[in-house]
Structure 1
């Protein structure tokens, strides 16, 4: 990389750090090209980005951002993964690490909060953003359904009472005619 490419890389990584909510740091020492391609494919499917970055350039991009706490993790062959949905990145990384011992999660950060390996694993056990949205929508819809049922109940009861009177009047007229 020449100087202009390095400046562009630092600027693009800095803009990523400004836009994202979660950054994961991992070591990828000894991963095969096929394994890295598989990890990138999984990350992309989860809506995340995975990039191997030079530590010095990543540290320059981290300066002045809310993710400065991960700077000490940038030692040796490291890679960064990020997404707006922190759970998706954590789940994908933890799943991949279970099947590949050469991929080691070092930690990460959600905003200014720095996470260690256990924090990332705990984050991966949370439901995804889509699942949480579905659960929230279900909670919101449940009271509305109950309210609709309660509001419809008196009308249904009135209809049954009118039907009972109608049946009673119809059966007494039939008895008088005989």
Structure 2
């Protein structure tokens, strides 16, 4: 890479790191090309940026951002995952590392706080953003649904009472 290309990579990483809520550093040594392609596809499907980048470029890109705690862990071949949804990145990387022992989760950063691999695994156990929004929608919808059922029950009960009176009078006649 020439100097201009390096500057472009640093600028791109800085823009992505400023919008990301979480970042995870992984050691990918030992993964095959097909495994890396599968991992990238899963991460991309979940809205996670994942790239193998030189450590010096990552250091320059995250300097002065919430992701600065990553710099002390940049040693050896490193792949960087940046995500707006921290749970999505943690879930995909954690699940992939369980089935592929060569993928090692080194460290993560969430809102400026460094997380080790066990904390990232704990983060992966949380419900995703989509699941949380669904639960919230159901919780907000429940009172309205109960009110509608209650209001609908009054005329339904009245109709059943009229039918019972009609049936009673029909038997008596």
TM norm. shorter chain > 0.5:
yes
Distance apart, 1:132 and its partner CA: 1.5
Alpha-carbon spacing, 1:31–1:164, altered in 2? closer, same or farther (3 Å): closer
Distance apart, 1:75 and its partner CA: 1.3
Partner SS, residue 29 of structure 2: coil
Q: Distance in 2 between matches of 1:85 and 1:23?
A: 10
- Which has the greater radius of gyration? 1
1:67 aligns with 2:67: yes
What is the root-mean-square deviation of aligned Cα atoms in Å?
Answer: 1.7
1:140 aligns with 2:122: no
Distance apart, 1:11 and its partner CA: 0.5
Query: 1:129 matched to which residue of 2?
Result: 129
Please report the TM-score for the alignment, with normalisation by the length of structure 2: 0.90
Residue range with higher mean Cα deviation, 148-157 or 48-57: 148-157
Partner SS, residue 108 of structure 1: strand
Query: 1:17 matched to which residue of 2?
Result: 17
Query: 2:33 matched to which residue of 1?
Result: 33
Residue range with higher mean Cα deviation, 28-37 or 77-86: 28-37
Does structure 2 retain, via aligned residues, the 8 Å contact 1:20–1:84?
Answer: yes
Does structure 2 retain, via aligned residues, the 8 Å contact 1:81–1:89?
Answer: yes
User: How do 1:110-125 residues align onto structure 2 when only pairs under 5 Å count?
Assistant: 110-125=110-125
Q: Distance in 1 between matches of 2:122 and 2:63?
A: 27
Q: Distance in 1 between matches of 2:34 and 2:164?
A: 75
Q: Distance in 1 between matches of 2:129 and 2:100?
A: 26
Please report the TM-score for the alignment, with normalisation by the length of structure 1: 0.88
- Structure 2: which 5+ residue stretches go unaligned? none
